[in-house]
Homo-oligomer: A and B are copies of this chain.
Amino acid sequence: MPKNRHEIEPIGVIHSELTNLVNAPRQGDEGGYEAWLTLTPQVAPGLIGIKVGDKLIVLTWLHLAQRDVLQVHPRGRLDAPLKGVFATRSLDRPNPIGLHQVKVLQIEGQRLKVTPLEAIEGTPIIDIKPVLTQINDR
């Protein structure tokens, strides 16, 4: 059983007009918010090769989540049976990592404007990856 812990250091932060969880859509494709990914100067060389129009996966640290929750009512519906958090996209989970698929709208130095992004203002960014072509897209 793995006992060792690992330390994540944010590579940037999300700037968005979305400032609280109450107004946040539950998934990016239900909202359509535009947001800026502001990377730290230290990691800026890691952005080389990203172009406007690219599809990216943004990983965030959902800093307001509860880490001791293991089961939830899906989408907050109390009449739905409890489900394990790993069978849902609940924000609350042991390691609250958000997974967001976005498109790049604009690039300004170490800032990327993307859409749609349902994470709120101030959410730490922990990784960015390109979307790989799906097998069935080939």
Contact between A11 and B94, CB atoms less than 8 A apart? yes
Categorize the interface residue count of chain A. Answer: 35 or more
Work out how many copies of this chain go into the complex: 2
Tell me whether A50 is interfacial, beta carbon within 8 Å.
Answer: yes
SS of A interface (majority): mixed
- Nearest Cβ on chain B to A11's Cβ, whole angstroms: 5
Q: Which B residue sits closest to A67, measured CB to CB?
A: B9
B5, B11, B46: the one contacting A71 at CB < 8 Å is B46
> Quick one: given A61-B6, A129-B99, are A43 and B27 in contact (CB under 8 Å)?
no
Beyond the given A5-B10, A59-B99, could you list 6 further A-B residue pairs with CB under 8 A, ordered by the A residue number? A1-B40, A48-B84, A49-B83, A49-B84, A50-B86, A88-B130
